[in-house]
Structure 1
Amino acid sequence: MELPPPGTAMHALMTRFPRAGEVRWIGLRPARDVPMREVGVVEAQAGGGLAGDRYQGGSGKRGITLIQAEHLPVIAALSGHAAIAPATLRRNLVVSGIALAALRGNRFRIGDVLLEGTDACDPCSRMEDALGPGGYNAMRGMGGLCARILEGGALRVGDAVEWVGT
């Protein structure tokens, strides 16, 4: 979403965050239809993806996928589970403490890596198998964010997630 002009009340609201977020989990998808691999650190490649991920050389718009940690219990409840492991949802990063939806169309930093939120990361039909019947709908609106990697570097569990601007 494009920001309103600087100096307006809406611009001030849309660029103010109560605190930085934090990376809670990192996972890589080495190939299609194989379990995700949890890692503590990974190299983000500018214009591409994450080293060791099947999308590492991709178009860039979906270089990395993020999901809101606060949504995991909601998705679990809506799909009839007590809890859901992050790998089940097949996103690269689980982030807490900052609203990912507010980062869409904006630049943000995770550690030394500069990213740009490109689009919502909608669930795919595979969520029916992963979460059971209705799993796709249980996840709608909470699938997370796709981002382009503008400046590469190492991403680590515990890194701060901070809005930079447009």
Structure 2
Amino acid sequence: MALDPASPLARLLDAPMRPGHVVWIGLRPLRRAPIQAPDMAVLDPEHGLIGDHYSSRTGGARHVTLIQAEHLAAIAAHLGRDVVAPQELRRNIVVSGINLAALKGRRFALGSAVLEATGECHPCSRMEEILGAGGYNAVRGHGGITARVLAGGVVRLGDGVVREDAR
């Protein structure tokens, strides 16, 4: 059922939103391999995040995974820890200052690339292994989003994350 574009809720969903910025980039070259944290990465519409083993295996729906830095603090609090490092969650891009849930079904710029949010990034069973007991449940609702690359480009630390209609 489609939302009536003239409804108050549709207007709120389309309301302006503050852009965010990239604070961390992670590439997973091989399954279970340590994550590399470069200063920049290349995004490609056919292959996803170049250098990440997972990005092209899902037909594009999961080219890139993104999580909010603000949620890292929430996950740490749920675990009784001071900090959860981005590489522990094995996401590709950590952003700050933008609510990723507001990008649901939307196109957005990530550096010079254009992506489309395709869904939530749910935790996997490895969260218990990596974060310890309770890791899976600590990440639930805070795992970020998945996205497909629509137009290739480069993303660097500090680059903007801007909803396409706000550009």
TM-score (norm 2): 0.93
**1:103-123 alpha-carbon deviations (Å, 9 max, x no partner):** 121111112211110010000
Residues 112, 74 of structure 1: alpha-carbon distance in 2 compared, 3 angstrom cutoff: same
Contact 2:28 2:51 in 1 (8 A): yes
CA contact (8 A) 1:47 1:148 kept: no
List aligned pairs for 1:86-101, cutoff 5 A. 86-101=86-101
| Matched residue, 1:140 | 140
Q: Name the residue aligned to 2:75.
A: 75
Q: How many pairs does the alignment contain?
A: 164
Contact 1:48–1:148 under 8 Å retained in 2: no
CA 1:87 to 1:10, structure 2 compared with 1: closer, same or farther past 3 Å? same
Structure 1 unaligned runs (5+)?
none
1:117 lines up with 2:78 in the alignment: no
Contact map agreement 1:3 1:14 (CA 8 A) in 2: no
**1: distance between equivalents of 2:109 and 2:10?**
20
Aligned to 1:131: 131
Output the TM-score relative to the length of structure 1: 0.93
Distance in 2 (alpha carbons) for counterparts of 1:150 and 1:120: 18
Q: Which residue of 1 aligns with 2:41?
A: 42
Give identity over the alignment, percent: 49
Q: Conserved in 1, the CA contact under 8 Å of 2:56 and 2:62?
A: no
Contact 2:65–2:145 (CA under 8 A) maintained in structure 1: yes
Identify the residue that residue 12 of structure 1 maps to in structure 2: 11
CA apart distance, 1:80: 2.1
Counterpart of 1:89, as a letter, is: L
Deviates more, 1:151-160 or 1:45-54: 45-54
Q: What's the RMSD between the two structures over aligned residues?
A: 1.5
